[in-house]
Structure formats: C-alpha cells, structure tokens
Copies of this chain bind each other. A is one copy, B any other.
Amino acid sequence: MRTSIATVSLSGPLTEKLTAAARAGFDGVEIFENDLLASPLTPEEIRARCADLGLSIDLYQPMRDIEAVPAEEFARNLRRARAKFALMNRLGADTVLVCSSVSPLAEDDDALAAEQLARLAGLAQDFGIRVAYEALAWGRHVSTYDHAWHIVETAGHPALGTCLDSFHILSRGSDPKGIEDIPGEKIFFLQLADAPLPAMDVLQWSRHHRRFPGQGGFDVAGLLRHVLRAGYDGPLSLEVFNDVFRQAEAGPTAVDARRSLLLLQEEAGLGALPAPVVPTGVAFAELVTPDAEPVSALLGPLGFARTARHRGKPVELWEQGEARVLVNTGPAALPHARLRSRGGTPMSGGTPIDGTTLAAVGLESPDPAAAARRAEALLAPVLPRRRAAEDAPLDAVAAPDGTELFLCATDRPGLPNWRADFEDVPHTPAAGAVVRIDHLSLTQPWHHFDEAVLFHRGVLGLDAQESVDVADPYGLLRSRAVTTADGGVRIPLTVGAAPADDTAHARHIALATDDVVAAARRFVAAGGSLLPIPANYYDDLAARFEFTDGELETYRELGILYDRDTRGEFRHCYTRTVGRVFFELVQRDGGYQGYGAANAPVRLAAQHAVR
C-alpha cells in the first residue's frame, strides 16, 4: 500500500520535512496547516517541491469546529472552508481532514451535524475535494469512530467519508472490530500512530514529578495548617522526587527549596516575612552589549532618543514616552550569567553571554528598600547597593536565572532616583509612537522554570498566569507570564525544549504603542528591518477574520501579526535579532490579555529562517 507521513511528525521547516520524507521512501505526505503557514513558499511552490520529490499531497489538515453549530456560525465556517478549499486547489491536495468539533458552540445534534457536513461536502465537491470526518478522542459530542461514521452515513454525500486514526480509536479503548462494518470506499483516510500505555499512575507521579510546595497544584499550606492544629512541632521536611532536580546543580536547588518552605510558612501563618511590595511598572530594561552600534541601529529607528549617559560608567539611556532602555557597554560586572549546571558544563539558558543580552530590569517600586528586604529574606542574592560613591543607593537582587532586578524609583520625591546617576546629553526629542514597555520576555534555564515562577510570585508579589505550550519548528516552548493585576508589569518566562537552540533563548523587549502600523512604518522608513512573515499566514488570517479594506494588506506589507481573545485585539511585529535580543512593537486594544501565543510558531519559524 502507499505510505504517507504527516509533516507534523518531523522536525524543522517544511522543506526539510518534505526532503526527509522523500528520502526515506514515503509516497506522500499530509500537510499540517501550521507548517504551511510558517513556510515562505507559496502553495504552488510547495506543490512543485512535492512533485519534484515524487511526493503526493494526500491530505490537508486539520479543519476544526465546523459542524453542529448555529446557522450564522456555520455561514462563517463555510466562508473559512471556501478559502481553504481554494488554497488546497493551489496546493494540489484533494482530501481535507475535518475533526469533530470541540467548540462550546457545538450542539449535541447528529442530524444537524450530518446536514452541515453534507453542505460542506457539497462545497468541497465544487472544488474537486473530498471531506474526511474524524472523531477526536476528546471531541465535544463526537468522540468515537462509530459515532463519526454514523453521522457520515446519515449525511449520505459522495464527497463525505470518514477518517480513522489509530490513536483516537485505541486511546479510548474502542473495539476496532466495528471498522469492518464501514464500506471501504467510505474510509477516505487512515492515520496510524502508537502510544505508550498510560504509565502515569500515582507511583510514577510520585517518583518523577513532585515539586517543591508552591510549584504544583496541591494546597500544601492547607494541609500544613491541619497538621499544626493537631499539635505537631517537628521539622518541616521536603521530600521531592523530581527528574529535573536530579540533574540540576544541588546548590541552587537547595536555595529554591528553602525559599519554597519560607513562602509556605508565610502562607500557613508561621513566621513573618517582610510584606510583599508589588512593583507598579517597568522603570527600564538594561541591555549589556560589547558593541552599542547594532543596538542603537534598532533604538533610533524605533523612535528612541539617546537622552543621557551614566556619570561614571559606559551606560547610555535611551527614552521614548515612559519606555527606557539602558545600553551598557561596560564589563558585565554582575553575575547575570551565573551557570546553573554542575561541573561548569554549559547548559541551556546558562550559556555564557557571547553578545548582546537583556541582563537587567528596573522595576518601579513603591518602597524599594522594603521590597529588597523581602527579597533578601527569601534568599535572593542582594547585589551591592551603590556602585560608586556618587551613585544613588539602588536596591537590586538577582533572579534565579541571574537577571538583575533593580527595585527602584524614577523621579519620585523622597526616594533614591536612579535617573539622577545619568547626565543629560543634547538630543532631539523622541518622536515615535511608543508609550511604554509592554512586557519583557525572559528565557529561563530549563532546570529551574517552576522555581523562577515561584520566585517572581513569592519575592516580587506578581501573579502567575496560565502556562502555555508553543510549537517551535525544532521543539516545544513552555511560557508562563508573571504580571501585576493592572498589567503595569508583564514578564513572560519562557523555557525551550531544545537545549542548544539559540533562537528559543533570545529574550525580547516588547514596546507598547497605540498605533502599531504608524510605529512599524516609522521604523521601516528610518531604515529598520522588520521580521518578514510568510504570505501564507495572511491568507489564513483572511480566512479566519474579517478586516476593513486595506487593513490586511498593510499587515502583510509590514509583517504585522494579529490575534484576538474574548476581550480584545492584539497587533504586533518584530525587529531582527541582535545577539540574543530583539524588540517587538505591540498594540493592545479592548483589554486583550495575552502575548500572541497563537502567532508564536510562525514568528519562531521566521526567526529560524533569517538566522
């Protein structure tokens, strides 16, 4: 029989996947939509590449959340499907995978599902396309293969069949014997995968995945309170079996462990720590670089003005609105690349700085000294307060990843003013559209991700948001933001799966603007170069959302990405990377809370492509 492989099964950019599949002797491929979106090749070019390699495109996938929805939603879905069918014609793919809906809009109504799938199949037929309907094991109403087949049979349309996937069938424990009752010609496609039987019983959970208190999902403080009420006065002892800790250097793990216990005791009402002093905003971001020129070549076009320089050190201050960036060309005096691996072997994230990096963050604090006292009580290394006799006495601590966190005040009476260490230089005022720093994305060493989240939560009093997985062409990234309630401080902490991957380890400064198009145009007009985004991405946007006339064309021209959540919209674009740092311009509207995670795979693929 002919053999195929889904591009999602292989690593790297689409062209590498196709070449690997052809060389291994596969006859065809399934094109996974995200691989197409992230590719710089047009659909026609992908089609030609496959033909050159002797590969057929056996399936385009997936189309989601189509069926059993209210009429107006289904009309939108048909519009989206029409765009995808046109794309498939360009690609030369004649079968599309539709997986059973997980949408909260979907109704538990097989007749409606059948009717709408028949209408979808009718549209597909006009394009010469067949629709293969598959039951996801976690589908909202349709989750078994026989249920999916029942709907297909009810629909009774020649262009509608079913797709069988061994994972979805066997993971649910369904009896595959019933497959024999489906007419073979109505099985449009067969996807094969194996999987380890779930070994995640409580013993495995216990021996491999424990965490220090505050780093998991248990109410450990609640339990502790019960134990105290019983009258226990023995030690509080941490017994944590964890595969990652087994590999991490003992010293930092022990510090993280003690910090966890201190926070637990505070939460359980034992012992008193200095109260948290939550920062109110970002005072500055500090880049350390051996050469200020490439950084200046970004900051100038972004609209920043070089306004001041440090009185005693080679540090320049660039300002625009409330956004402040320090560019430090002096020796990296502080331990911001503290190696967190044993034996000096460089591990991910702990790699010594070999170029430009985001090494320090100034946080606007209502009471810097009190914030530092809490940090110190929680075992954060306190950095020297005064770097020179005439400098303002700044409170600073090191985060677990070595980033210097300055707890500071900007031009606030009665508090030491870091700004006073700088003397103004003649400059033309900043003229860009940037108003402040929106967020700072800090990549983390992979050994200590959960600890980093607990540090920012416990020491700085930030709130931890949900953890998000993002697919990079070369591995998965995990990202979790720590923020203040009003969004004045937003720090996404990110960890890459691939230890050797530089792209995944670049940090970035996101600059907030009220008009990302104006900010992007200004940057380009001043000679800046934005990260190019593949045209396929915009075709997908066009299928998914409606835009005003010319809006999408502008985004496509500039490389602006778009996302939407239940509250609002997000538009953003990226500069090229300098060393291990890049900038993002972001426009948040209507209370959008995220960071464009849906666009991260496309952004990461584009960054891999230009390096």
Q: Taking beta carbons and an 8 Å cutoff, which residues of A are in contact with B? A: 1-6, 8-12, 16-17, 19-21, 23-28, 30, 58-59, 137-138, 164-172, 176-185, 187-198, 200-203, 205-206, 208-220, 222-224, 226-227, 229-243, 245-251, 253-255, 257-258, 261, 264-265, 270-271, 341-343, 345, 347, 379, 471-472, 474-476, 497-500
Contacts and interface: CB of A to CB of B under 8 A. Distances in A.
B5 A237 contact: yes
A199 to B, nearest CB: 9
Contacts of A168: 206
Given A166-B220, A205-B198, A237-B58, A9 B187 contact: no
B180 A194 contact: no
A389 to B, nearest CB: 32
B1 A257 contact: no
A206 B239 contact: no
A217 B196 contact: yes
A194 B238 CA distance: 9
B239 A203 contact: no
Contact of A238 (B4, B196, B255): B4
B189 A224 contact: no
A258 B248 CA distance: 37
B222 A194 contact: no
B184 A230 contact: yes
A216 B195 contact: yes
Given A231-B185, A250-B11, A254-B20, A205 B171 contact: yes
A504 to B, nearest CB: 11
Contacts of A165: 239
Nearest to A61: B239
A297 B17 CA distance: 48
Contacts of A220: 166, 170, 192-194
Contacts of A499: 499
Nearest to A347: B500
Closest 8 interchain pairs by CB? A184-B231, A194-B216, A4-B237, A24-B254, A20-B250, A197-B217, A20-B254, A6-B239
A16 B248 CA distance: 12
Nearest to A259: B24
Given A179-B227, A265-B1, A471 B246 contact: yes
B239 A192 contact: yes
Given A137-B202, A192-B238, A5 B254 contact: yes
Main SS at interface, chain A: mixed
B211 A194 contact: yes
B232 A187 contact: yes
Contact of A179 (B206, B213, B226): B226
Contact of A23 (B58, B177, B227, B254): B254
A170 B1 CA distance: 51
Contacts of A230: 179-184, 187
Given A1-B233, A195-B217, A251 B20 contact: yes
Contacts of A138: 201-203, 206
A478 to B, nearest CB: 11
A321 to B, nearest CB: 39
Contacts of A345: 500
Contacts of A180: 226, 229-230
Nearest to A223: B176
Given A194-B217, A241-B8, A25 B258 contact: yes
Given A4-B236, A24-B258, A475-B247, A9 B242 contact: yes
A534 to B, nearest CB: 19
Contacts of A5: 237-238, 254, 257-258
A464 to B, nearest CB: 13
Nearest to A161: B234
23 contacts: A2-B234, A6-B238, A10-B257, A11-B342, A17-B250, A17-B254, A23-B254, A24-B254, A25-B379, A167-B218, A179-B230, A181-B230, A187-B232, A188-B234, A190-B232, A193-B211, A194-B213, A195-B209, A196-B216, A243-B475, A246-B474, A247-B475, A345-B500
A107 to B, nearest CB: 21
Nearest to A474: B247
Contact of A216 (B184, B197, B236, B476): B197
A208 B224 CA distance: 35
Contacts of A233: 1, 184
A220 B193 CA distance: 8
A219 B12 contact: no
Contact of A170 (B219, B235, B471): B219
B192 A237 contact: yes
Contacts of A12: 249-250, 342
A240 B6 contact: yes
B341 A166 contact: no
